[in-house]
Each structure stands twice: as C-alpha cells, then as structure tokens.
Structure 1
C-alpha cells in the first residue's frame, strides 16, 4: 500500500517548540485524531489515503508540549467506521477525552450505546470531494434520527463551495451540529464572499457550532489571512465556537508546528473571557467535561 502513503512527519510530535501563549487550565483540543498504530488498528480497505501512524501516545506528547488538558478525538475517514483506535484512546484517559465517531446503517442501538459508554458524543459526515464527497443522504437521515434523542451532535466536514448549496439542509437539521475547519473557506475571496456570509448566518442559529481551527488549511504561515475569518465567527457565536489543532494534519501539503496554531488564538480571541469560552467553557458544555 506504499503508493497510498501520506507522510506528515507529525507521528512522533517531537522536536517542536512550546507556544508563547499560555493556554487556560482545562483547555480542550476539540479537533484532533489518532491514527493506528496500523498493526493494531488497521486502516480501512477503501480509504482515500494512508496516514503515518499517530497513536494516542503521540497525541499525549503533543498536548503535554502545548499545555492542553482535554481533547475531542475525531474519527477520520482513513479508519472508516472502525472506531476502535479512537475508543482505545478515550479509555486511556476517560475523564479528559471524548470522541466523535463515523457510523453507518450497520450500527444498532446496542452499538450506539457502546459508543456512548466509550465517550462518544457525536457522529461525523464528510462532504469534502477529495475524501469521497457527499455521503448517502438516506443513511445520513437515518443516522440523524438515531442520534437526536441521545444528546449527541453531528459534525459536518464541508468544502467552502458547498456551504451555500447545503445551507437549507443544514438549517433544517433536527440535532445540534458542528461545522469543521471554518467551512474550509477560501480566504482569498474575503469575508464578504457569499459562502462566508452564509456560514455566519448558520452559526448564529442556536443549534449550530463552528470550529475556528484549520487555519493551516485555509491560510499559509503565519496564517494571517485566517485571522479575520476566525474573529468574525467568534463574534457571531461566542458561546458555540470550538478550537482544535487537527493533529496530525492529514493530507496537509506543508508541515506545521502546532505551537504556531496556539499562538494564533489571542489574535482572534482578544480577551481573556473570549479565550476561556473558546478553549474551556464551550467544549466542556458540548462534551460534558467536568466544570
């Protein structure tokens, strides 16, 4: 499978600096991944990429370096609906970790309960073209019906070009929802572009949350062009914004030091209150971490 291998250089999370910005106590990385190790938790046969192993120990080393106390581990497409690597990581630190799973029609009530007992609080659907595009919408609808009574949410991974076409569907969702990576917005088009204005309308809805992470995906170092977008989203929905590292940055073309992403936070979360809500209070409320 070497022809599919994607080398990120982040699997060990070593030899990088500590951030200058000191995160508040109980800060949460609300979007990160664990990959493998493949010998223990094999990757999905139909995956679109094969990552470098980034097991739970690598994630813990990263968080120790950055000063992060909590995490939400998001199931990535390379593991498909086999959520074992994510569940294993949560079981390792159950008071500090939560998860977002990938599921399909094969999951019955017992399987959902097992995920919940394992620390899962949401499901993720990918609409991004280079990762396979939109899901089967019939399956999508049935999964939403299964989770809406569980206190879970649905995470949507979108391309910016799909925000406007999907906005009516998103607005009608009967469950809390979280949009990944600032909608992967094209920062070169400015904050007045229709896709971003539609995103702002969505995040003002009471059931819609947004992750002001992924600056390294929509901007190049030092990520200046991402700042006004993150700031506008935080202003539009200060109580429903989340932040994360996206470690280990699957399919990212250029390496990134996560300390640079941490140091970006005070550039868009301008006050101590803003930062505490973003990093501590909001994820604690959505994921059920202790006060």
Structure 2
C-alpha cells in the first residue's frame, strides 16, 4: 500500500493584496468521503480525506469564489466525487475529468452539462518512466480529440516541459485547446533557456495552449518562498497573458513531511511578485478562468 500523505495546512498566511470578485483557484483535488468514493486499489499515494466541503472552506478562507476540481490519479477514472461536487455548487465550481477512450459521446455530453470542461491526460515521465499510476495517456488523448473538439472541451496535459519538443508534432495534430499543468512541471534548476520551456512559451504565444502558473512548490528549490520560480512565471505571462490561470494544487498530495506542505497563502501571494498590477491579476484570477471554464459573469 502506498504511503499516506500529510494533510493540508489549516492556517494560511494572510493574502497581501485585494482579491478581485469571482477570483478562481483553477487547480485542486478532492478525495472522499471514502465510504462513498474509495480510492483506486492501485495508486501511487494515499491522500488524506478532503471532500468538497473542505475545499469550499479552503476557497472561503483565501477569499476566492470559484474553483476547478481535477480528478486525481489516486481516484483512477472515478469522477463521481468531482461530479457530485459540481452538482452541489454549480455556480462556484467546474471540473476536469479523467477517462479512457472507451467513454462515449453521451457520457461526455452529460459531463459537460454538469460542469466538466476538459479531460486530463498524464504524459508526465522522468527518464522515460511514468511517475504516477493510473494515468490516461497520449493514445487515449488522440482517440478522444474528435469528441473534445465537437463538445468545445479542452485537454489538460500533465507533462514534463522538456518532453514538449518531441511531443509537439502529435499534439498539434489534435486541434484541441491544450492546458499544460504546473508550468510544465520543470525543476527551476533547468533554467528558462531549456528548449522544453521555450516550446511551452511558443505554444502559449501561438494561442494553441494555456498553462497554469501553479505548482511553484513542486518546481522550486527554495521552499517557503519559491523565488526561483519568478522568472518562469514572468516569461509565461509575457508569452500570452490571456492564456494563463492560477491554481493552488490543494490539498497538496504526495507530501510525506508536514514541514514541507506548502502554505496556500504563500502560494497565492506569489502573484504580487509575478503580476504586480491589479488588472493583470484580475485577468489571471477571473477573466481567463471564466473564458476557459465557462463561468457566468
């Protein structure tokens, strides 16, 4: 059995700037209740139980009104927790589901009506090896791309940015909007001159992709401040500020030392450095998520 993860922090650093109305956390997960929604038997980690009401607490605590829930790999292809959450909070929440190519058009239509706006695909590898179990990969994405196009849905891809130059020709053929998780999940030590990061910025500039300036804690080598991520976030925003959204990655799975669990207030406060002007923050926190996920004005 996989090692249990630490729970998220209860106390947050105070947000140091005025949040715009309808600000959105565009990347988070929920788990449980486990009696109703058990985890996948085969999984890479065992998260603490944090259902939708706990996520709503997280939003309220930070001063955010909206959120996007992504089915996590520990749940396999069981999207019921996310769909249940969307039913409870249809105005506040949207979702990104995980499924294989066996899903049919009727199911995808029903999911879209429920608030699912994209499907997530796990292309994340290090040294050629998949990092997490239960990922639905590139073949499924290629098979489902026509349905995504017909329904106006996007493909969220969890990918290591250094792999983008090799993957780009196949991704370009899909003709589906792409949302790249966590700035390409690339360690800051690789630098902004990395060809994969350059490819990510080029995809943003062309309008073929979006990215989430999330996962600073995952990509940084400066725990507690994440200052080495500043240059990456700023270059992403320079590439195309209309295709950038922010997410916390709450409840921060796969941390096994409580001292390392990130503070969501600190993560949100990075936007003061990355986007010093209020109109720019509104774009990333409100306007762009509304455009991508279909939140009502």
TM-score calculated relative to the size of structure 1: 0.94
Match of 1:49 among 41, 45, 48: 45
Aligned partner of 1:210 in structure 2 is 211
SS at match of 2:25: strand
Deviates more, 1:129-138 or 1:208-217: 129-138
Aligned partner of 2:103 in structure 1 is 107
Deviates more, 1:185-194 or 1:29-38: 185-194
Map 1:170-249 to 2 at 5 A: 170-219=171-220, 220-249=223-252
Quote the RMSD (CA, aligned, Å): 1.6
Aligned partner of 2:127 in structure 1 is none
Gaps of 5+ in 1: none
Q: Please give the per-residue CA displacement for 1:254-288, whole angstroms capped at 9, x wherever unaligned.
A: 21110001111121112111111100000001111
Aligned length: 287
Map 1:4-153 to 2 at 5 A: 4-10=2-8, 14-128=10-124, 129-132=130-133, 135-153=136-154
Aligned partner of 2:290 in structure 1 is 284
Contact 2:121–2:138 (Cα < 8 Å) also in 1 = no
Contact 1:126–1:135 (Cα < 8 Å) also in 2 = yes
Match of 1:270 among 253, 266, 276: 276
Q: Please give the per-residue CA displacement for 1:216-264, whole angstroms capped at 9, x wherever unaligned.
A: 1101220000111011101111101010000011113521110001111
Shift of 1:169: 2.1
Gaps of 5+ in 2: 125-129
Ranges of 4+ aligned residues in structure 1 off by more than 3 Å:
132-138
Contact 2:95–2:116 (Cα < 8 Å) also in 1 = yes
The 2-side partners of 1:182 and 1:252 are apart by 19
The 2-side partners of 1:221 and 1:14 are apart by 16
Contact 2:94–2:293 (Cα < 8 Å) also in 1 = yes
TM-score calculated relative to the size of structure 2: 0.92
